[in-house]
Amino acid sequence: MIKAVIFDMDGLILDTEKLLVKYWCQAANEAGFPMQREHALNIRSLARKFAIPYLQGIFGEDFDYVKIRSRRMELMKEHIAAHGLETKPGITTLLDYLDSRGIPAAIATATDIQRTEDYLGKVGLLGRFSRIVCASMVESGKPKPDIYLYACEQIGEAPADCIAVEDSPNGVRSATDAGIRTVMVPDLAEPDADTAKRIAAKAGTLFDIILMFEDGDLS
């Protein structure tokens, strides 16, 4: 019996991965680095200490991660102020379904706690999660398992009794290495070969996860 569901946030609950990809590329390009979509896709959910050597390995040691990330955050903030935030289809329905079954929901995200709470508050979802765990709360963020192990500790459930819901390869690796059965709802790109081997199931939308519960696939 599943006792808790742990969600990633960006690209899964919120339709923000497209913004992260767009503005990482813009910020890097402004700084003179030819960052492309595939580079930005590869750092989705990737903790800073892993993202820095990855990007410097491509663009050289002059790639100022902190400065470029700060510019990316500025661009995203301007976009969100002008256009607001969108949720991914089905998140409210899925959370209502989990509530009806007495299954708590938590978040494990690479985004810091201040922005996480701000974003969730903007879309009316801040009070829907029993715990919010961010990468800054653990020694190593995604793709290491620390964040999911800590989320399980916080909600008081064993990893084997939880389901993780992720949209990116780095997130899937983090959750599966923590020993959590993982459902992937791909955003922006389909799973690569390694990711496809790791996941318990792939869902087209969050609505499909309700069907998986109903069919007994996640019980």
What pLDDT score was predicted for residue 1? 85
Residue type, 212: M
Q: What is the pLDDT of residue 91?
A: 98
pLDDT, residue 73, reads 95
Whole-angstrom Cα distance, residue 17 to residue 219?
30
Tokens standing for residue 180:
């959590």
Q: Would you state the pLDDT for residue 67?
A: 98
Whether cis (ω within 30° of 0) applies to the bond prior to 159 is: no
Count of other CB atoms within 10 angstroms of residue 121: 12
Q: Which residue has the tokens 């964040």?
A: 147
Along the 219 residues of the chain, how does pLDDT read in single tens digits?
Answer: 899 999 999 999 999 999 999 999 999 999 999 999 999 999 999 999 999 999 999 999 999 999 999 999 999 999 999 999 999 999 999 999 999 999 999 999 999 999 999 999 999 999 999 999 999 999 999 999 999 999 999 999 999 999 999 999 999 999 999 999 999 999 999 999 999 999 999 999 999 999 999 999 887
Question: What are residue 108's DSSP bridge partners?
Answer: 133
What was the pLDDT predicted at 103? 97
**Model pTM score:** 0.94
44: Cα within 13 Å, side-chain hemisphere: 30
- Distance (Å, whole) CA 4 – CA 135: 20
DSSP output for 122-177: HTT-GGG-SEEEEGGGSSS-TTSSHHHHHHHHHHT--GGGEEEEESSHHHHHHHHH
Distance CA(32)–CA(19), nearest Å, equals 20
